[in-house]
Amino acid sequence: MQLIENLKIEEKVYKEKLDNGMTVMIIPRENTQKKYIIWGTHYGSNESKFIVPGEEAVTEVPKGVAHFLEHKMFEQANGTNSLDVLTALGVEANAYTTNDHTAYLYECTDKFYEALDEFMDYVQHPYFTDQNVEKEKGIIGQEIMMYDDYPEWKVYLNTLEAMYHKHPVKLDITGTIETISHIDKDILYKCYNTFYNPSNMALVVCGDFKPEEILEEIKKRLVPKNSAGEIKRLYPEEPANVVKNYVEQKMEVSMPLFTIGIKDVPSEEKVKKHIAIEILLNIILGRSSKLYKDLYNKGIILSQPSLEYEFTEGYAHILITGQATDPNVVFEGFKSEIASLKQNGLDEDEWSRIRKMIYGGYVKEYNDVAETARMFLADFFKGINSFDYIDEIESVKSEYGLQVLKETFKEENMVLSVVKKA
């Protein structure tokens, strides 16, 4: 087992790549009550066109299969539902699908190993029939319709659709009622067998464990499977420009919702760039920024917008989401502040202060076993060791920040999505 230590925050992770190709990460936390485990596959909603290892033909499946699979995994051949079994044991179990991975998880204070039996059994034993697949279409169809009524979801999705011409990140993770109607058990088994191979998966456990012992317990419960070759993931070529700069929808909202999106391209310096963008966003529209205070004092916004940078190997974008009496005023102020910073440069003291604040946020994430484990899994599928954020933040200087500001925060790559009162 490889030991990776971070002396700055006194954290360590034990990492092992098993013979079957699966990576296991163990983050020991002595004297903590809560135990958390998350098992993920590098397979999300973006993967609908691929070449299966050993095959030459391209496989194309309907949009929404990864999320559909996540739903179906709990149903077992003996008639039980693994989610119910785990809940009856007193553990909190869940699952989720993102654009680039699917994850299954639970947390508990006791009965960890009883739960582990069920957990590792259902993830390795899918059970799909014509009947249970058809039944699930109705359930997921209701979920899709429910999300269609959520203004917070629509303002986000409309932003992606305004930014991206072809990349599947623009599509709803759940698919549509039309696309899921084409899913059958053969498609589910093909995607399961392709993407749920151990070589495409990683497992993270965090809590009061002895690394060698928990690793043996995990190995004991693994179904023997050989590592598969590389899955070729096929994406359409995405133009650099945005589709349109403005999109508006009317829904039942008390105050307009907005998302400002900035389309970017993936960088080789993933961590360094991510840190720089976080600092820049806080300088431009963070709680202590001039722009935020001005908008707040004028009653245009009542709380700080969320500031995010999302990226994988295939795409990258900035998202700023909040509520405002007039989103256009926020957007114009945002663009004006960026232009001013590009012209006048970044204040060294402010850069240093915000960087310290963000470092504090990174350290705080390690206080919770769930946050720590989820972070290590998500970062792993991006090709990142989570400790890199702690190690690299001091080296992210304002000169680099100004370079990122000029290269990434381009007005022609910005979109504004608004949901207004109907």
**Catalytic sites, residue numbers:** 70
Place of tokens 């009965």: 111
In this structure, are residues 92 and 108 in contact, taking their beta carbons and an 8 Å threshold?
A: yes
Long-range contacts from 370-374, C-beta under 8 angstroms, 24+ separation: 370/34, 370/36, 370/105, 370/107, 370/206, 372/27, 372/36, 372/206, 373/27, 373/36, 373/37, 373/38, 373/105, 373/204, 373/205, 373/206, 374/38, 374/103, 374/105, 374/204
Angle between helices 398-408 and 327-344 (to 10 degrees): 130
* Single-letter residue type at 89: L
Structure tokens, 111: 């009965």
Q: Which run of H or of E encompasses 246?
A: strand 246-251
Pairing of strands 201-207, 49-51: unpaired
Phi-psi category of residue 76: left, alpha or beta, with phi > 0 → left and psi -120 to 50 → alpha: beta
- Rounded distance, CA 61 to CA 176, Å? 13
Structure tokens, 299: 């009653």
The dihedral sign for the CA sequence 304, 412, 168, 237: negative
